[in-house]
Structure 1
Amino acid sequence: MNNRQRELLKMLLLKEDLLIKQLSEELDCSEKTVRNDLDQLEEFLLDYPNADLIRKPGVGITLEISEEDRSTIFNSLLSSEPKSSEERVFEIAYVLLTSHKPIILQDLAHNYYVPKATIKKDMEIITEWLKDYYLELVSKPRLGTVLQGSELHKRNALAHLSQLIPTSDSEKNYVLDLFLPYEISTVRKALEDMQEKFSFAFTDEAFTSLVVHALVMIKRTRQRATVFVQELEINKAREYKEYQYTVWLFTRLESAFGMTFPEEEHVYFTWHLISSKRMEEGLQTVYDKNVTKIVNGLMEKMEVLTQFPFSDDSILLNGLEVHLYSVINRIKFGFPITNPLLVNIKKMYPYMFSMVILALEEINQAFDLEIPEDEAAYIVLHFQASIERLDRKKMEKKSALIVCHLGTGISRLLQAKIEQRYQEITIVACIGKSEVQDFLRKSQVDFIISTIPLKNLNNPQLVISPLFGKEDKEKLSQFVERLNEHNQKGFDPYVLSTYLEEDSVFLQVELEHRYEIVEMLATHLYEKGYVSKEYIHSAVNRERKSSTAIGGGIAIPHGDPSMIKQSVVVTAVLKKPIKWGEELVSVVFLLAISKKNHQDIRKIMGTIAALSESPKLVFQLTASKDYKSFIQTLKKKSE
């Protein structure tokens, strides 16, 4: 509503039988403009059941309204402030989404007291944003601009209007400001009572979303803009228990707002209840067999990719079933979400994000799904939490290998002393120096305790006396403490440098697009015999699905591990930073780590993630003149 319309509404709230001519004179505009403004006010007043604009020919215009609504509207008009450009875009988008009539740009310019060119720029912003909801603005000569698209897509856009205020507080949903306080409180209370009656609870985010969708539904029902639902879908919806929740909820809302919801709206809101995230506590799964198959398939694929026993984690199983039930139904019913944590999740958990994206490629194909990266990022948190639970269990017991050059008797005595003093350390074997390489090829340990120095090993090691005296005990205590700190930091440049080769580090690369860089690096791997030819397509296709930039000027593209013959990391240092998704990237690490070396992938990812938090070091890497200086710079952080 513009300033002139606000003044017109004030006049109607204060006086009766106002003539069009009188109004045009007081507002300093044409009579046609007054009539257009009255049409706009009629739409605005649809939100007030006890308000009616009466036009009496020859008598004038009168607003019949309850005193409660009159006071509410008048107070809101008095508190109105000039709109910012973001608020203007927000309001124009709202008008486009809710109006049945074409919108004239010149009228908008007049209403907001800005040039027409400014409104055109606003329209460009709105047009681009609406594409995500399959909606299109169409300009019709001599009529104005109209919005084309389904009612379902319009409602989705309405519910996500807050996205048009990018600088806003992410925890506040500005769409709620479009509705009256009593409407919000009534819907909120009805939903809270529904949760209590049927003994379940939505997450805070999902609950707020349901409030917004219910308010949008109420407004659009008043405007007689109902969603289209096929008869088959109506019958299917009635089979869900959530349909009964909706029936109960609508009885409350119909009584409170003095209106009746058609059957299509029952189905529409049932879909929202099915698709909303619920709290995991107290929920009994499984919701349906297909979800169970998808969850099991995803966990199996993730176990293969990460070598972590996810199937042992019942918490993960239950959490994924609850979450994916909502995800699959959001996709099915066409309720897309945006994940405000997406960028941060990519940066914080690059390894797990990459593994989930790879796993979902196979799951999407097997179950005819298309799970977007916004949804994938939430799935990452489930697997990351599981790994941290598994890691906590591992931290309770560190596995160590004893290498002793003095025979079995001394090594067993050393084992007994260590296990007696350090209950958190488990000795997995006592062997001689000649057996080390063969043992490590078959088994993994956290570190090695040796009575002699060992060369050419990646595993952390501590050299102590076979007698295990006081100094040795202190050394072992400090070693384990440093090892824990080191693992927490996740930075180990020596592991990364193990997979770097001089002819696989390209400096001063000049390519314009990230796909070209990924293809160039992957092709180099194929030509060197490290990967199969299919790996090139796999790496480029992975990049197309989701940007692999992790912040700090770094990207970590990668392909399917099953296509890797020999593990290697190939690197491109760009002459100038290029756009990589939504970020600028200067250093690219294409990771080709096979399954047999999978124990190192998390360390490599941790090292690169730590690099991304050191802009000075990344800048120094970009200045490297040769392979030697690149490696020296890379190792600086650990010194």
Structure 2
Amino acid sequence: IIHPYTNYFTVSNLLKYGLNFKNLYSRIKWHLLFLVNRSLLHESISEILPKGISKDYPISLEFSINLSKSIEENYHVHVNQEEIDYCVIYFQMFLDERTENRTDEVNVAFIGSIRNSVKSFIENKLLQVFDQLKTTDFSSISKFNEVDPSNYLMAFSDKPFSSPKTQVVNIGTVFRPEALSTILQISVVEHLTELNLCKIFVTKINAKNYHEEVKKLIADQVKVGEFNEDFEEKWSNREKDIGNIFSNGIAIPHAVDSSNKQRILISVGIVNNKLSFRNREVKLIFLIAIPNTLNDDLVNATSRVYDLIELISRNSVLYSNFLKYDNSKKLGQIAEGV
């Protein structure tokens, strides 16, 4: 009934996940069989997942949408959103398995008189996020300023100071509820930019029409050679399948990028004036380009970027700080006051 490769897992010119398709098919084939049967008989899936769960897994959602299209074309049926959501969970499981063996190493500085027990606490938290960690102790801020601060992803200090080249965290912040985990999420994406796995462009705009502003953000990236000319069409076609995700004034238009550049690109438009779309006010537009070929690091980077955007939408301090984004500083600036 179901051909394992030709009908369902050939997604030409879209995302090349590098998954083991034979293994994937052997684990999902029975679910696909029941999915087809339910669609033919117009039956609903019995398991109900949380509404909107697909937005948390953009790569898996892209794959699931194209899988559902293939099923619809071959069997002349309609695959509903609940079925797509369930496929998203399957594909995310496969993608997570791909990224289990990644290795990340970061450099972190400790400045001033910080107890070993506090250092160990911080190091344990960092090792929950990064696989490898290198730490350096500095007796004072002046000693730290003698080296290149940009060599360090984060600097933990017992005294307040600021540095445009690295994220400075006051020791007192570490013990505030959720403060350290919030800072770490920001630092992860900043680390990805340093590895050139992620690029972030931020501009302030006066917008009259949502779609026109997204097109302008796309056109700007086409001009500098980041996007191919077909990106606008890909974004427009995607909008027909899945609308943009809105939360707390944030819009997330995104599409697959055919430029073959191995990075996640985020072009953010900060809306200075009042802009409404679908009866919701929009203050931040995160235009996201996902490469058409993804290795393990890029799969991870994409998830990290979406996690950060979700965090910004929930955290009023991060949200407020992003509205005042300064391009002369690093991403860590949005953690100020957390």
- Write out per-residue CA displacement over residues 159-208 of structure 1, whole angstroms, 9 at most, x where no aligned residue: xxxxxxxxxxxxxxxxxxxxxxxxxxxxxxxxxxxxxxxxxxxxxxxxxx
| 1:307 partner amino acid | G
2:3 equivalent among 293, 302, 317: 293
Partner of 2:17: 306
The SS at the match of 1:559 is: strand
The structure-2 alpha-carbon separation of the partners of 1:544 and 1:366, relative to structure 1 and needing over 3 Å to count, comes to: same
Inter-CA distance 364–593: structure 2 relative to 1 (3 Å threshold): same
Taking structure 1 as reference, are residues 365 and 535 closer, same or farther at Cα in structure 2, changes over 3 Å only?
farther
Residue from 127, 138, 141 that aligns with 1:483: 127
**Residue deviations 1:82-117 (CA, integer Å, cap 9, x gap):** xxxxxxxxxxxxxxxxxxxxxxxxxxxxxxxxxxxx
* 1:293 maps to amino acid: H
Q: 1:543 maps to what in 2?
A: 239
1:328 Cα offset (Å): 4.7
Summarize the Cα distance change of 1:547–1:296 in structure 2 as closer, same or farther, 3 Å threshold.
same
What amino acid is aligned across from residue 199 of structure 2 in structure 1?
L
Q: Residues 207 and 275 of structure 2 are in contact (CA less than 8 Å); yes or no, is this contact kept in structure 1?
A: no
Q: Which runs of 5+ in 2 are unaligned?
A: 109-115, 132-180
Residue 268 of structure 2 aligns with which residue? Answer: 571
1:608 and 2:309 equivalent? Answer: yes
- Aligned partners of 2:60, 2:244: CA distance in 1, in Å? 12
Matched, 1:460 2:105: yes
**SS in structure 2 at match of 1:627:** coil
Q: 1:295 and 1:329 mapped to 2: Cα distance?
A: 24
Q: Which moved more, 1:557-566 or 1:599-608?
A: 557-566
Once the two structures are superposed, the pairs formed by residues 474-623 of structure 1 within 5 Å of their partners are 482-485=126-129, 491=185, 492-495=188-191, 497=193, 498=196, 499-501=198-200, 504-513=201-210, 515-549=211-245, 551-565=247-261, 567=263, 568-576=265-273, 578-580=275-277, 584-594=281-291, 595=293, 598-599=298-299, 600-623=301-324
**Structure-2 separation of matches of 1:585 and 1:630:** 24
1:328-353 CA deviation, whole Å, 9 max, x = no partner? 542xxxx789x985743144334433
**1:103-122 to 2 correspondences below 5 Å:** none
Q: How many percent of aligned residue pairs carry the same amino acid?
A: 17
Kindly tell me: are residues 560 and 350 of structure 1, through their superposed partners in 2, closer, same or farther at Cα, counting changes over 3 Å? closer
Question: Aligned equivalents of 2:74 and 2:335: distance in 1?
Answer: 43
| TM-score w.r.t. length of structure 2 | 0.61
**In 2, distance between residues paired with 1:300 and 1:320?**
15
Cα deviations across residues 1-36 of structure 1 (Å, max 9, x unaligned)? xxxxxxxxxxxxxxxxxxxxxxxxxxxxxxxxxxxx
Q: Quick check: 2:204–2:271 contact (8 Å CA) kept in 1?
A: yes
Could you say if the C-alpha distance between residues 493 and 315 of structure 1 is closer, same or farther in structure 2, counting changes exceeding 3 Å?
same
Q: Distance in 1 between matches of 2:322 and 2:284?
A: 8
Shift of residue 543 of structure 1? 1.7
Partner of 1:327: 39
- Over 3 Å counting, the alpha-carbon distance change for 1:580 and 1:546 in structure 2 is farther
- Determine the C-alpha separation between the residues in 2 that align with 1:343 and 1:630: 35
2:29 alignment partner in structure 1: 317
Q: CA deviation at 1:494?
A: 0.9
Q: Which has the larger radius of gyration?
A: 1
Secondary structure of the structure 1 residue equivalent to 2:204: strand
RMSD of the alignment, in Å? 4.3
> How many pairs does the alignment contain?
267
Aligned mate of 1:379, from 72, 76, 87: 87
**2:327 counterpart residue number:** 627
In the TM superposition, residue 549 of structure 1 has moved relative to its aligned partner by 0.9
Amino acid at match of 2:126: R
* Higher strand residue share: 2
Matched, 1:357 2:58: no
Between the two structures, name the one with larger relative contact order (CA 8 Å, sep ≥ 6): 2
Q: What CA distance in whole angstroms lies between the structure 2 residues aligned with 1:478 and 1:630?
A: 22
1:574 is aligned with what amino acid? V
- TM (norm. structure 1) is 0.35
